[in-house]
Amino acid sequence: MTGEGRVDTGKGPGSLTKRPRFGEMAIRGFLFVCGALSIAITIGILYELGSESLLFFQDERVSFLEFITDTVWQPQVGGFGIWPLILGTLLISLIAMLVAIPMGLAAAIYLSEYASRRVRSFFKPVLEILVGIPTVVYGFFALTFMTPLLRSIFGSNVVGFFNVLSAGIVVGILVVPLVSSLSEDALSAVPISLRQAAYAMGASKLEVTLRVVVPAALSGIAASIVVAMSRAVGETMVVTLAAGASPRNFQLGESSLFGYILNPFQGAQAMTGYVAITANGDLSYNTIDYNSIFAIGLTLFFMTLGLNALSRRFVERFRQAYE
């Protein structure tokens, strides 16, 4: 009741009742549809990979136990061990991370802590241009520049024409912008008050950077590294052109560990490389080669999913909130 004995309907100019905002509702509905669509697409991809992979494992020549334990991948002659392809993928990704983490983190620290605003506004976009270069260009760069350079340093009899080291270095260069850009954002998000407090205690610029800023941004830096790792695992053209098209089959206890299995100077086929090469061939539906593509793709999906889950867990554990 109002002071004059009238009922407040909630529609007057002084009403506190929430009014409908149709524009905001439309935007909220659009965002919901986009989120639901992305989830549906992911589920659809997983369904297709799973259904086609099931055909692969239903083949009487294929054993799931052999698939996850054997170390020989030769589908044409009945070898269905996934480990040679996983080995090639992990070797290339490890070398890429050994290149990308120091370079990317150093670039991020420089841009965040040492570069002037003018320098940062110039170099950060230039660094991120690397992301836009087609990966096939990186592949030919590895094949025509990096491999000859490595062969001139270590010798042609040591470094093969197709080799894991060349592919790993170039993939590392490719993912440097991911590490540097995401890490720089994490470092810049650290409150200036922490830096000022460290300076007030007599710390130098380097001490503030390494002992205050970097630990405070550790969760964001770790997330950038895992994202870059996922990108390296899924890279296709560089590893297809530079690493070779033959799986590095081996026998535990018989093959030399560092002379062959983990030798970075010899070629190896990655999971993405196998999919790209096999898919470009003349394949018939429901053949063993055709179905093996989806089994490899499903394995790669779970590898990247595991990396993303690890990243989320690490970020949630070490995240620091500031007011």
Domains and CATH numbers, the chain: 64-318 (1.10.3720.10)
pLDDT, mean over the chain = 86
> pTM (2 decimals)?
0.85
Q: What is the pLDDT of residues 182-220, one digit of tens each?
A: 899 889 888 888 888 888 888 888 888 888 888 888 888
3-state DSSP call for residue 80?
strand
Among the listed ranges 44-53, 152-161, 258-267, 285-294, which one has the minimum average pLDDT value? 285-294
- At residue 255 the predicted structure's pLDDT band, cuts being 50, 70 and 90, is confident
Closest residue by Cα to residue 320 from 234, 214, 203: 214
Inter-residue contact 291 to 52 (CB < 8 Å): yes
Q: What is the pLDDT of residues 292-314, one digit of tens each?
A: 899 999 999 988 888 888 777 77
Q: What is the pLDDT of residues 120-177, one digit of tens each?
A: 888 888 887 888 888 899 999 999 999 999 999 999 899 999 999 999 999 999 999 9
Q: Percentages helix, strand, coil for the chain, rounded to the nearest 5? A: 70, 0, 30
Beta carbons within 8 Å of 227's beta carbon, 6+ residues apart: 178, 182, 311
Among the listed ranges 53-57, 79-83, 101-105, 252-256, which one has the minimum average pLDDT value? 252-256
Per-residue confidence (pLDDT) for residue 276, from 0 to 100: 87
Per-residue confidence (pLDDT) for residue 305, from 0 to 100: 86
Q: What is the pLDDT of residues 95-114, one digit of tens each?
A: 999 999 999 999 999 988 88
For residue 322, pLDDT over 60 is answered with no
Residue 250 CA to residue 272 CA, distance in Å, equals 20
For residue 33, pLDDT over 70 is answered with yes
